[in-house]
A and B are shown apart, each in its own frame.
Chain A
């Protein structure tokens, strides 16, 4: 039982950056802009957070939180590029996204060398620390999973899921955003700016992707390296698809992919897991996404207008 509890806590911790980034991707794609740049946005966010904390941690105990904020802002700035190219210039969104992924790898390592004179950022003393909340951790079952040896960032992820569900389904803004991704012409015809809705969608994906990357580096790493994000942005993209572009679905898919990542850690505890090589668990999210796409292919689940530039003249 001990093992099961700690496994669930660790699943939550591993899933946190996936959940946050995938929810960001959801806002972008729901507004009609495909965002394959999530990986690059996470890298920029992670690098910015790691750099900020190195300079801040001597002077303030809030350094990790301020670093998160800077990571988020950096994510917004880089997503502006994607927004402008995709929305204003009507470019092929996948090409723009791919270029940003490439740029993020180059830019973060370049800046590391300019600022720290090495291929990675300087290591920071402490990122976020695992905490046990006295009192709350005494609650049966829930306390063990949610309040013992856990990072506070996990709660951010859960709050974001609930908030995004509320925004998307219970507010006029959410309705407009969803409509923009399905039928932009209809949205335009009732006087709502398609460009504005799409900008908000893409910038939200930048904010959340930057935050996800920042959390990832400040919880799993002691510095930013080119391998810090190692494909988690694409796992987030996978979660988005696997979760059918819906908040609850994205949460479920992210938790599942987070779980599959930690299975390899626990393979020594369970005899049947030891048979599988580590690589098997790494492949699992990607393989399952292809299978999911195949299963969904009959019914149209994704936002209908995603990927198509909006042209006012075309009604």
Chain B
């Protein structure tokens, strides 16, 4: 017990302890809200377990099948895009930039992939790589704009990325509807060769939408770790994030590093859009409003301490909340409690100075 206590109070462990405390407090607030509205929080946790592991607790002992692999497959389907938007936000954070624009970069990524898949006549072997590349590239371009404005003209990236989210939404909606065969809500189904869909993966998970997108996610997580930890470029990015003045003094081109960091961040989010469009759905969707993947990405990055492995874990955590949403709704719990919990977790992480002060006080009082 004493050991755990010391571990929690040790400042060196704060980077791990603070997200952990925030997650616990977030779920606590969510549970309290549920109790006040006459609902049982345990039902929510049961939904999460069913959404993640495919195990229905209430069926234990009834003789019915308690495990359904489809939920497991769908869980990864929910987690994949937000791991990528999480990487996007985290990458920009490392250079000291706040990328609220992952949402928009993701939307243009989806859009570019769908456009290439529908309009470019190529055999699948060549088409699929091009479709994926188009998504990442479109996201990168969408990240380049706030990046270059920040680097050249010192325009704050937060406002620019917020504005570009809306531009992305309305612009892509307009062009998606213009594609041959599109209705007012979606495009034609993409040819199978241009998608990441897999009969094999779908079959082993009881017809879920699980797809090859997870390979892209693994490559992305690895590339993030490699760039940040193993290259000079990554070292420079981190230096700029820690202290731009010192970095400049050390001869690092601070401005161009900032712009490049947004380009790479945009590429991750764009790839997230690609996975969503050609993996989860297999067609382009006209969206009435932003879906929030980019905003969840902010939560993912913050929980994960802006690292590659952290974003992976954060994505799996918030993916669990997202995957549980349809299950909650069907068992009478408003699914929006998941949104409340996510936002509370971000709020508590934002309050980390307060949590630190509290921990200090505990330490002093010992």
Contact = CB atoms under 8 A, between A and B. Distances in A.
B107 to A, nearest CB: 13
Contacts of B352: 91
A99 B170 contact: no
A98 B170 contact: no
A237 B162 CA distance: 10
A297 B163 CA distance: 16
A189 to B, nearest CB: 24
Contact of A106 (B289, B337, B351): B337
Interface stretch (A133-141, A150-158, A171-179, A279-287): A279-287
A85 B349 CA distance: 10
Given A98-B100, A102-B339, A297-B153, A283 B167 contact: yes
A95 B346 CA distance: 8
A279 B171 contact: yes
B295 A102 contact: yes
Nearest to A235: B166
A231 B342 CA distance: 21
Contact of B164 (A94, A227, A286): A286
A80 to B, nearest CB: 12
Contact of A102 (B145, B156, B158, B343): B343
Contacts of A91: 350-353
B340 A279 contact: no
A247 to B, nearest CB: 20
Given A96-B347, A282-B170, A293 B334 contact: no
Interface residues of B, number: 47
A28 to B, nearest CB: 14
> In the complex, which of the residues B159, B299, B302, B349 has the most CB atoms of chain A within 10 Å of its own CB atom?
B159
B158 A94 contact: yes
A89 interface: yes
Given A94-B100, A283-B166, A110 B351 contact: no
B336 interface: yes
Nearest to A111: B37
Interface string A122-137: 0000000000000000
Interface string B144-161: 010001000111101110
B162 A36 contact: yes
Given A94-B158, A98-B100, A98-B346, A290 B149 contact: yes
Interface string A56-83: 0000000000000000000000000100
Interface of A: 34, 36, 81, 85, 88-92, 94-96, 98-103, 105-107, 109-110, 113-114, 226-227, 230-231, 234, 237-238, 241, 277, 279-280, 282-283, 286-287, 289-290, 293-294, 297-298
10 contacts: A85-B350, A95-B350, A100-B343, A107-B340, A234-B162, A241-B159, A280-B174, A289-B163, A293-B156, A294-B153
- 4 nearest A-B pairs in the assembled complex, by CB-CB distance: A106-B339, A103-B343, A113-B334, A99-B346
